[in-house]
Each structure stands twice: as C-alpha cells, then as structure tokens.
A and B are shown apart, each in its own frame.
Chain A
Amino acid sequence: MTAPTDPAASDSLASAPEPGSQATGETDARVSVGGVAIPGLRLRVTPQHVRDYGIIVFAAALFIYFTIASPSFLTSNNLLNIVYQNATIGVAACAVTFTIIAGNFDLSLGSIFALSEVLGAWAAVNWGVWWCFPVTIGAGAIMGLINGLLVTKLRVNAFLATLASGLSFGGIAVGVTHGGLLITPASSVFTFVGQHKALGIWDAAIIFIVLAVVLQLVLAYTVFGRHLYGVGDNRNAARLSGLKVDRTVITTFVITGAACGLAGLIDSSMTGSGTSSQEGLAGQLALLAIAGVALGGSSIFGGVGSVWRTVLGVLMLGMITNGFDLLAVSDYWQDIVRGILIILAVALSFVVDRRNA
C-alpha cells in the first residue's frame, strides 16, 4: 500500500462521484490517476472516463462530421438504413458479447450463419415455408451447443475450437447447396423478416434493436447476466462460489449460435435465397461482429463490457461505411479507417489499464 505520489490523484479522490467511495487511509490509491479538470463544471475527466465513455464522444464526433460533410447523411431514411444494413451483424455481435464477457471467443459466427441460412432455405423449399423459422434458429443453437461442449467438456481453447468447428459448418453448408444458391419460395411469410416495414421501419432493424435491448436487460439485471461477468472476471472464484461454470459458458455459446441462426434468417429473407458462399457476409461476420464488440469498449478478455457498447460499435462501423459511401470515398480507405479505429479503441483501454496497474 503506497501513498499516492501523484498530487492529482488525491485531488480526484475528493471529487469522486459518491461520498461513500472516498478512499480512506488504508485504501489503495488506485481510484484514479491523473485527470483533467474542466473549469466551470464540477467534473474531472480521468483516463477511466476516457476509456469508458470516449467511444460515445467519438461516435458523436463522427456523426457530426458526416452530417456536415454530406447533406444526405442526416435524414431519417439514411439513418434507418444504417440500422437495417447492419441488422445481421448487429444481431450476431450483441449475442457474441455474452460469450466474450464470459471470457470466451467465437470465430464460427459466419459459418453458423451460413449453415443455418442454408438449412432454413432447404427446409422452406422441402418441408414448407414456415419451417424456416425453427430450423434456422434451432440449427444455430445446436451448432452453438457443439461449440460450448468443445470448449467446456473437451477443454479446447475457444479460439481454436470455434475456428475448427466454423470450418466444418462452412463445409457442410457448401455440401448442402453444392456451392450454389437455394432459392426460397417467393412467399410473403418468408420475405416478411427481411423485406417488410412496420411503421416505416424495416422489420430487420426492429428485430436487431429489440434483441439488443432484451440482451442488455438480461446482462444488467438478471442473475444469469451477473454470472457472465463473474465467470469472465474470475472463473475460479465463480466456481468456488458454487456456480456451474461450464453450464454458464455453454449457454453463452448456444445463445450466440441461435442469434447467428436468426441473422441467417434475416439475410436469406432479404435476398430470397440461402447461400453457402463465404464471399459475402458469412466470411466477414465473425470479424465484423467482434470488431464491433471491441470498438464499443468491451474487454476482449472478458469480465467487462455491455451490449449497448456493442450496438454503438456496430453502428459506428456501419456509419463509416455509409458516410464514406455518401462522400464517395473508396472502399479501401474505409477498411483502413475502420482498422485504425479498432486499434485505437483497444490500445486506449490497454494504456489506461497499464497506467493504473
């Protein structure tokens, strides 16, 4: 226990948000280090604030920039389009946030997405159009279950387990379609999810936002949500506190799998087909979703994060694509900027954590 050597540290203790959280003499001086006072406001911006809320400021700055730079950016149509275009990624990203908070990883998102989409389309063609709903989501959940069992029961590292399972799922999808497309029946039942608007808003966008809200509430307010943070923060402590850690971890994979199935349903409903191609979204889904999680500021190592951050991260990535498209900036520039952004977001949290360690 060392006395605070940085004079600013003791200052910022005095302006801690709650009187109860003031450190006493025997508390480690870890509450905050440094910080910048904003004159005229009873507010002190510390590195923690930058790490925790910097993303909001950044998203707002980007939003303002695009609004000024392109007259067609700030229109309700365009904004709703961003949400619609990112609904599939968003659904997968919000769910995989659970897996990541619990300290694991899932690289098989794209393949689960592709295989559930293909199986759903196959079921719609062969069994009847209604079958596509249970089949896509159910197949996704089963694939998630397989991932969860690999990670917990066989103790395969999640990174490798989902890389490998993803490879197999992707292969099965190609096998089912013989590498091509399965055209789904042109039924309004089927296109409802992807090509229909309610109150002027695409159904897919509504599904994304509703799912995000539900998952955020589960994370923040339920016993299960608390367990996820506990497992991600300290797995041993969670087990010694009586938690069945394996079951919790498996559940996160099943939820993620089911959500990827849902994303597959949305996608095939948008396009009216089921495709196994890794050329499009399927090949990029895992990376884009995880990038969204990281950009939002959730920790890739688990224990820290939330679904609203993921939503923000995904929409920021979408906003960059959309805004740059409006400004006619070429694709490769978009990728460069997105890459730099993700690195900045992740590096920032590292720098802040190291300064406080």
Chain B
Amino acid sequence: MSTTTVTQLQLVSIGKRYSGTKALDNVSVEVAGGTVHALVGANGAGKSTLGKIIGGVTRPDDGQMFVDDRQVRYTSPREARTDGIATISQELSPMPHMSVIENIFFGIEPRRAGLVQFRQMRRQYEDLISEWGFSLNPHAKVGALRTADVQKVEILRAVATEARVIVMDEPTSSLTSVETSTLHRMIHALRERGTTIIYVSHFLDEVLDLADTVTVLRSGRLVRTAPAAEETEESLVAGMFGAAAAAEHFEKPQHSAARVVLDVSGLSRKGVLNDISLQIRAGEIVGLAGLIGSGRTELARAISGADPIDSGTIVVDGAARRVRSPADAMAAGMAFLPESRKDDGLFLELSLAANTTFADLCSVASRLGVVRRATERAKTKELLDLTSVQPPNPSAKVVSLSGGNQQKVLFARWLLRNPRVLILDEPTRGVDVAARAAIHRLINKLAAEGSAVLLISSEIEEVLGLAHRVLVMRRGSITREFSADPPLDAVMEAAFGLGGRTIA
C-alpha cells in the first residue's frame, strides 16, 4: 500500500460566508505534500471551515483549490475521497449501527459478482490491524465505541481507502492524554509513508509538537503560514488575537457593595461540570471565557434548568431555588438566551408578536386564557422599539428578519418578564456589526438597571469590552478569575491552559 507520490494542495483566495458573516476571506495556503500542516486560530477564526473546504464537506463561495496542480471543485466529502482526501471529525461520525469492519470497508468492500467477499474483507482487516498495531473488535457496533476508538476506525478507514490527504478536525478534543499520544504516533507513521495531514486544533502544544508548518487564522483572514520550528505558543497566541481589540469598551462600575443576585455553588454534572461556584451582583456583568467544549454552554444550560444537574445549589435574591426545568428558572427570575437561536430560541414560522410574548403569554391574556390581541400588539411594539428591531412589525414572521434582528427579538421576549438574572450564551453570534453594537448597548443598559448578567462569548473582545469580571473555564471547571479589564493575552493563555495543561 506504500506509494512514493505525495499529494500537495494549493488554496487560492478562498472565501466563505455564513448568513452575512465572513467565515473565510481571501485565504491562500499552500500545503506541501507529505507534511503535517496545522491550522490554528481562536473560536470562529475559520480554521475548521478551511479544513472542511479541503475535505469537500463545505463548498467555498470564492477562490480555487488545486490538488497536485489540478483544479478541483468538490461538492461532497465523497468527491474529495475519490481524490484521496479523507476527513476525520467528530461531526462526520460513521454509521453507528454498523460494525467496525463494515464501517472501515463501507463502499470499498471486496466483492465478486455484487456479493461481498467477507473472508477477503476479514483478511484485509487483519492486515490493517497488524500494520497499525492496535486491536479493535471488528464486530463491535461503532455506536457503542468510545470516541478514541471511533477515531481509530476513521483512521483505519482513511488508510484502507488509501487516502493521500487526511484532514483531522480537532481530533484530540475528547481524548485522554494516553490516547492523544497514540494518535500522535499514528500521525508520525502516516507522514513517514508520505500521507499529507491537515491538523486543525486549538491545542497549541500539540500543534508545535506535531506540525511541520502552521497556518494562523484570525477572524477568517490569513495571518501567516510559517514553519512550526519558528513558532512558540506565545507567538501563536499573539498571531491569533492580534493587536488590541476593536470592540466597544464600556464603563465598568465596580459592584463590591451591591447585593448578590445569583449565587451558584457546587454545581456539578458528571463528565461535564465540576464543582462550579460563582456569584453575580446586581448590576454586574460577569463574562465567561473559554474554548469550545470547555463547559461554558453546559454551565449556562445547567443554571437555567435546560439540562439536569447532579448536585449544587442555586440561590436567587437570597432564596434557594430548586431549578429542575426552564420553567423553574424563569419563576426564579432568570432568563436564558440560548446559543443557537434557530434551534432553541425562535419560532421561525410565527410572528414577531407571538415570539415576543411566548414566554409570558398570561401577561397579555385575559383570566380565561384569551390573548388580548391589541394589548399584545402594543406591548410587542414597545419592546421591539426598545430593542431596536428593524422592521418593528409585530405581524411579520420572524423568519423574514436578519440574524441580528432575530436575536433582538429574543431579547424582547425576555425583557417582557423583567428578569433579575440574564444568562446570555453567544448573544452576538452570526450578527452584523450594527446589530452587535446595539446588542452590546442593550446588555450594558440592562445591567445598569440592576440585572445580574452572565455573558458567554467565543469572542474574547466582546467579553473584555462588556464584562466587569471575567471567569475562565477549561475542561468543565472555572480555572481563573480576573477583575475588570484583564489583559487579553492573560485571558487567552488561561483559556488555552498555558503553563501546565490539565490532563483529562
């Protein structure tokens, strides 16, 4: 199975937009054949998108891609496969109900007259296993395997299909350190045989350890491509975050004397959150920074009753609350703006009015449960103006609004309830610049009026611009706390766990 040819890639002026925001903008990268090429960047920098474009998972809007100097336009991962490009990512999982061996050879089963030659397939499997030196039960259902073993299946599949290029998207984010080193040994061995590896990761130590070349991306733009030997973790972080943030900066009144509104202690959920405690005072915005998968969203969902917790107490305004459902959290005065407005927030086919009043319909209904349309309309109009939704037409469907205005409608929904605690998960994701500024002003205003705000954002500039205090999460725990206006690199380094990476 050894070949001498190596496959090289060339990406020229690649651009990709997602609902108005530029995920990639004019990015050009050359990947030398037979090397390990790492793509690094902060959350949302576009590194995964670039990996997906190479693997044919995502189609670029602009630019060209060349494989061995031949221009290609993939419309599916399958087409990339035929050119020997395989993708391994947790999003593209294999078929869970099929066995290990069936997954590895799916589509390339040895066959004769349309019949699968099981004995030959088994022989090929034994060859692969002995070659790679690890054992997997060939008949185990893939859905029952641990993540690390699923990745082995995917790698074996890539090898079995004689992939010349393997795109690995965050392959170690759910592996233990032992499994990670096994994976790294495999990557070294693959490179020995001339396989080209595209390695997308936010673990900078791994990247420096493994890669020959590193490409740094920031906000969808190329920062630089350089030999890994010339980089350090600090230089990569500096490249990923650039000069001082451009986000609007708000006054940060200190609230050491104000009343504690939200008091969470000992919150745990097995495998997700470890013993989380935090306090938010009236008028205070607490920012929660951390990488994707660090437990930020899980913490927000646990506090707001969306997900169950194993232990811990939640106290709002001095009263201990039993929060077992979103309804309980709302009764305690909390409001939760979820990460994905389309999946968890909006009723796209319903009107702005229906969306705005849904969480508190009784406030616009008679005692018999009949909605007072005129009251609803007036109330909605008032809230849409307050949140500057454009156009503020209560009878339009939410689906007709832009992302930023959809997000403002969710704010309007919660403002109707005058919440004491606002838990905001990525409040400006996929929102244009003007709407973003409007949402920032709104958050600041709500805090100034006495609400306690927990702000989660992948954009560290946003957290720093708004938050009065910053908590950093890593692997399900709060690992650092910063008072007002910490330096950006300090927060980033804490998020990336520099200075002693915790071993899962």
- Which residues of B sit under 8 angstroms from A1, Cβ to Cβ? 19-20, 402-403, 432
Residue contact B405 to A233, C-beta cutoff 8 Å: no
Residue contact B393 to A21, C-beta cutoff 8 Å: yes
- Which residues of A sit under 8 angstroms from B413, Cβ to Cβ? 241
A37 and B19 CA atoms in complex are apart in Å by: 30
The residue that B346 contacts in the complex, of A221, A234, A242, A243, with Cβ under 8 A, is A234
The residue that A237 contacts in the complex, of B346, B392, B395, with Cβ under 8 A, is B346
A contact residues, total (Cβ < 8 Å)? 33
A243 and B306 CA atoms in complex are apart in Å by: 12
Write out, one digit per residue, whether chain A residues 211-244 have a CB within 8 A of any chain B CB (1) or not (0).
0000000000111101101100110111111111
The residue that B347 contacts in the complex, of A222, A237, A244, with Cβ under 8 A, is A237
- Which residues of A sit under 8 angstroms from B404, Cβ to Cβ? 26
A1 and B20 CA atoms in complex are apart in Å by: 4
**A9 proximal to B (CB < 8 A):** no
Separation in Å of the B362 CB from the closest CB of chain A?
7
**B358 proximal to A (CB < 8 A):** yes
- Which residues of A sit under 8 angstroms from B251, Cβ to Cβ? none
**A24 proximal to B (CB < 8 A):** yes
Write out, one digit per residue, whether chain B residues 400-413 have a CB within 8 A of any chain A CB (1) or not (0).
11111100000001
Q: Which of A304-330 contact B (CB under 8 A)?
A: 304
**B350 proximal to A (CB < 8 A):** yes
- Among B234-242, B254-262, B365-373, B441-449, the one that faces the other chain is B365-373
Residue contact B391 to A22, C-beta cutoff 8 Å: yes
Separation in Å of the A189 CB from the closest CB of chain B?
32
- Which residues of A sit under 8 angstroms from B361, Cβ to Cβ? 223, 226-227
- Which residues of A sit under 8 angstroms from B19, Cβ to Cβ? 1, 28
Residue contact B362 to A18, C-beta cutoff 8 Å: no
A238 and B326 CA atoms in complex are apart in Å by: 10
B contact residues, total (Cβ < 8 Å)? 47
- Which residues of A sit under 8 angstroms from B402, Cβ to Cβ? 1, 26-28
Name the CB-closest residue of B to A30.
Answer: B400
A323 and B212 CA atoms in complex are apart in Å by: 78
Residue contact B346 to A26, C-beta cutoff 8 Å: no
The verdict on A26 contacting B434 (CB below 8 Å), with A21-B391, A31-B400, A233-B349 known, is yes
**B345 proximal to A (CB < 8 A):** yes
Residue contact B20 to A233, C-beta cutoff 8 Å: no
The verdict on A237 contacting B354 (CB below 8 Å), with A26-B432, A27-B402, A226-B371 known, is no
- Which residues of B sit under 8 angstroms from A209, Cβ to Cβ? none
- Which residues of A sit under 8 angstroms from B496, Cβ to Cβ? none
Q: List 5 A-B contacts (CB under 8 A).
A: A26-B390, A26-B434, A222-B371, A224-B369, A229-B350
Residues on A lying within 8 angstroms of B by beta carbon are 1, 18, 20-24, 26-28, 30-31, 221-224, 226-227, 229-230, 233-234, 236-244, 303-304
Instruction: List the 7 closest pairs (A to B, CB-CB), nearest first.
Output: A20-B393, A1-B20, A241-B359, A233-B347, A242-B327, A242-B330, A223-B369
Known: A226-B358, A233-B347, A234-B347. 16 other contacts (CB 8 A): A1-B19, A1-B402, A20-B391, A21-B400, A26-B434, A27-B405, A221-B373, A226-B354, A226-B371, A229-B347, A233-B349, A234-B346, A236-B343, A237-B347, A242-B359, A303-B347
